[in-house]
């Protein structure tokens, strides 16, 4: 059983029929699955006779009071007289309970991005040391690998390479890519694991130190490595199945079609399993259970999750380019090889160019890695709120009183 407050997986997955303890008239498969503690429908009531005029609209209404029915879910959004908890009422739109960086209700795009940035800003003492240390270690090792391997790789754009030189160049380039990506992979897994725990506490309004994040993440770290490797290997095998036969058969047209099909399927599967990481870390599940849970949480919301993820990737890309490109250019110009170094590519292998580029990458990754991890965690939380009423469990874990009770409830 998961021992993380508020993150326990429901008795059954969101697409497996009725939840344990749910009422008999619970919606059928495909509709939101609410927990047994779903608040009963309520209505805004006027003051009893003799009590005088109603008071001014409250700035912070008590959670669970006067929110009415949850309504039904249509197109991924809540409908009904008041929408979602904290939705509009006769006095406007009182805010939902917000013990931490996000309100406990279905989240919009802006709230997901703002929650990621707010966590970075309010918990920077825990977030930035993790990303800074990991990014620095990764880039130092990458510099050494690139310097050793690139020294043997001579690239000239002014001459036509022979087939043997082309094969050697591709082999050296592939070796560099594999080595650097493996280092980045291990660093990213560590950062993802620790940041997931920090974000989970930030949602509950709790702080987290680096040592606490490591302690919470360490038991699941090997499983997260296995999950990420399994997903990468699976996508690579899919590409091999679609690309190798036409390539070996010498059919360029079929190879292009296979490559396009592989890209489409890879993106689709990547989004379908994009929530497996927070499932694994927060629900303390196994690898294949995490894949299954992610599949069911994403089902029916694939395009929404894809859009938010793609926008996050674009933001991260442009922020990284703004930071990395100027420093890389400075390093290349300061390499001392002049225009010859720029034309034959040797400028990129000098210590100055590699160091300046690494400094830019360290700064960029220190800023962007928390945002990517935060958006993934908040998408997971958002889907569980929409599908499983996770907001009720989180509110109780955060100590929000009377959350989930009707207007007349005790």
Q: Which two tokens stand for residue 62?
A: 């008590």
List Cβ neighbours of 290 (8 Å cut-off, separation of 6 or more): 227, 276, 277, 279, 280, 283
Predicted pLDDT at 18: 39
User: Nearest 5°: CA angle at 225, between 115 and 122?
Assistant: 20
Nearest-Å Rg of the Cα atoms of the chain is: 26
Predicted pLDDT at 45: 38
Predicted pLDDT at 34: 33
**Angle between helix 109-122 and helix 163-203 axes, rounded to 10 deg:** 80
Predicted pLDDT at 148: 73
N-terminal to C-terminal alpha carbon distance within the chain? 30
List Cβ neighbours of 202 (8 Å cut-off, separation of 6 or more): 100, 101, 118, 119, 122, 123, 208
pTM to 2 decimal places: 0.73
Predicted pLDDT at 346: 59
- pLDDT, one tens digit per residue, over 21-64 is 444 444 433 333 333 444 444 333 333 444 444 444 444 434 33
Where do the domains of the chain lie?
60-97, 112-379
Stretches in the chain below the pLDDT threshold 70: 1-95, 149-176, 335-349, 404-410
Q: How many CB atoms are closer than 10 A to CB 82?
A: 23
Predicted pLDDT at 94: 52
Strand partners, 392: none
Predicted pLDDT at 351: 79
Predicted pLDDT at 149: 67
């Amino acid at each position: 059983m998961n021992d993380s407050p508020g993150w326990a997986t429901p008795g059954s997955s969101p697409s497996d029929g009725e939840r344990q303890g749910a009422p008999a008239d619970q919606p059928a498969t495909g509709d939101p699955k609410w927990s047994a503690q779903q608040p009963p429908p309520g209505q805004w009531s006027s003051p009893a006779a003799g009590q005088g005029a109603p008071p001014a609209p409250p700035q912070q209404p008590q959670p669970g009071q006067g929110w009415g029915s949850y309504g039904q879910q249509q197109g991924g959004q809540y409908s009904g007289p008041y929408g979602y908890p904290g939705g509009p009422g006769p006095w406007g739109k009182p805010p939902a309970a917000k013990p931490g960086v996000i309100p406990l209700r279905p989240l919009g795009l802006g709230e997901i991005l703002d929650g990621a940035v707010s966590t970075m800003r309010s918990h920077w003492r825990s977030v930035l040391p993790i990303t800074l240390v990991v990014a620095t270690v990764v880039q130092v090792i990458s510099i050494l690998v690139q310097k050793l391997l690139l020294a043997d790789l001579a690239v000239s754009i002014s001459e036509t390479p022979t087939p043997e030189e082309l094969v050697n160049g591709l082999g050296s380039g592939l070796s560099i890519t594999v080595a650097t990506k493996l280092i980045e992979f291990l660093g990213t897994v560590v950062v993802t694991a620790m940041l997931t725990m920090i974000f989970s506490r930030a949602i509950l309004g709790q702080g987290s130190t680096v040592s606490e994040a490591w302690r919470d993440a360490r038991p699941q770290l090997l499983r997260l490595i296995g999950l990420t490797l399994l997903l990468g290997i699976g996508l690579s095998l899919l590409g091999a199945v679609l690309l190798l036969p036409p390539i070996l058969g010498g059919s360029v047209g079929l190879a292009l079609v296979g490559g396009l099909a592989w890209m489409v399927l890879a993106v689709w599967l990547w989004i379908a399993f994009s929530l497996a990481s927070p499932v694994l870390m927060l629900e303390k599940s196994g690898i294949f259970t995490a894949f299954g849970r992610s599949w069911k949480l994403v089902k029916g919301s694939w395009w929404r999750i894809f859009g938010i993820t793609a926008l996050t990737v674009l933001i991260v890309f442009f922020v990284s380019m703004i930071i990395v490109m100027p420093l890389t250019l400075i390093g290349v110009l300061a390499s001392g090889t002049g225009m010859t170094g720029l034309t034959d590519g040797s400028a990129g292998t000098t210590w100055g160019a590699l160091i300046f580029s690494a400094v830019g990458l360290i700064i960029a990754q220190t800023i962007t890695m928390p945002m990517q991890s935060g958006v993934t965690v908040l998408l997971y939380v958002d889907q569980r709120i929409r599908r499983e009423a996770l907001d009720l469990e989180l509110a109780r874990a955060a100590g929000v009183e009377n959350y989930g009770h009707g207007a007349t409830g005790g």
